Amino acid sequence: MEATSNISGKDGRAQGRFHRDKERKELTPVAVRTIASLFDLWKVPPRAAAKLMNVDEGTWAAMSDGNWQGILSVDQLERTSNLVALYRDLKEKMDEQAAETWPTTGNSNAPFRGKTPVDIMVLGGLPVIQAMRRHVKAMQRQPELVS
Calpha distance 102→94 (Å, rounded): 9
Q: Does the structure show a pLDDT above 90 at 9?
A: no
Report how far apart the first and last C-alpha atoms of the chain are (Å, whole number). Answer: 27
Going by pLDDT thresholds of 50, 70 and 90, the confidence category of residue 54 is very high
Going by pLDDT thresholds of 50, 70 and 90, the confidence category of residue 109 is confident
Q: E strand or H helix at 100, and its extent?
A: helix 96-101
Going by pLDDT thresholds of 50, 70 and 90, the confidence category of residue 48 is very high
Q: What pLDDT, on the 0 to 100 scale, is given for residue 21? A: 84
Interval 64-90: pLDDT, tens: 999 999 999 999 999 999 999 999 999
Q: Does the structure show a pLDDT above 90 at 121?
A: yes
Q: Identify whether the C-beta of residue 98 lies closer than 8 Å to the C-beta of residue 107.
A: no
Domain ranges of the chain: 11-145
Handedness of CA 42, 140, 114, 131 (dihedral sign): negative
How much is the average pLDDT of 32-49? 97
Q: Does the structure show a pLDDT above 80 at 146?
A: no
Calpha distance 60→52 (Å, rounded): 10
Residue 57 CB neighbours (<10 A): 12
Calpha distance 146→6 (Å, rounded): 30
* Predicted model pTM: 0.82
Going by pLDDT thresholds of 50, 70 and 90, the confidence category of residue 143 is low
Mean pLDDT score of the chain: 86
How much is the average pLDDT of 45-74? 96
